[in-house]
Amino acid sequence: MTSATVTARQDNSTFDCAGAQIRAHCRPLATVVTIRGEIDGVNVDRVGQYIRRFIVGQGPVVLDLSGVSHFTSAGIALLCGFDEDCCAAGVEWMLVADPAVTELLGDGCDQRPGEAMFPITRSVHEALHRLADDIVSRRQLVLPLIKKTA
């Protein structure tokens, strides 16, 4: 296998969406969807359609926007719609965002005072760690119930 073959395969796994490049990686704890480039009014609908395909089953989704260089208010609507779709499907999700994106989110969807609009983390590693901790917590809640029925 040559390096040109490897490069072609990497390019084939990236979806180009008018300024945004989207990749998805299925990991044991979650599907990680990484978006790089720009999210704006020109491509927000196509980006939304593409990322919604990863809301499947009960598997969590980590939406990584840490590589987004331009994020407009259209992106806030995208995240609000993604959040609603995840809630409707019963899918847990987390957002990885840099400070520029999180700053813009302060003007977005309705939220309660003192509460983050979305479950935000600083890195994919942190998001996966939090998901693993959530699994352990749920198991600890269920364990006493299992012991009572045994």
**Within-domain flag for 6:** no
The pLDDT of residue 107 is above 70:
no
CATH number at 32 reads: 3.30.750.24
Q: Quick one: pLDDT at residue 84?
A: 94
**Within-domain flag for 46:** yes
Residue 91 makes CB contacts below 8 A (sequence gap 6+) with 55, 56, 57, 58, 59, 60, 61
Count: domains in the chain: 1
**Within-domain flag for 9:** no
DSSP state of 71: E
**Within-domain flag for 66:** yes
Maximum mean pLDDT: which of 5-14, 64-73, 139-148:
64-73
How far is the CA of 94 from the CAs of 10, 30, 33, 122, 141, in angstroms?
25, 10, 10, 10, 22
**Within-domain flag for 88:** yes
Return the number of other C-beta atoms located less than 10 Å from residue 87's C-beta: 11
**Within-domain flag for 18:** yes
Where does the pLDDT of residue 65 fall: very low under 50, low under 70, confident under 90, or very high at 90 and above? very high
**Within-domain flag for 43:** yes
Q: Quick one: pLDDT at residue 149?
A: 60
Angle at CA 79, nearest 5°, toward 98 and 94? Answer: 60
Pairing mode, if any, of strands 20-26 and 15-17?
antiparallel
Q: Which domain holds residue 113?
A: 14-147
The 10s digit of each residue's pLDDT in 5-64 is: 333 334 558 888 888 999 999 888 899 999 999 998 999 999 999 999 999 877 899 999
| pTM: predicted TM-score of the whole model, two decimal places | 0.77
**Within-domain flag for 8:** no
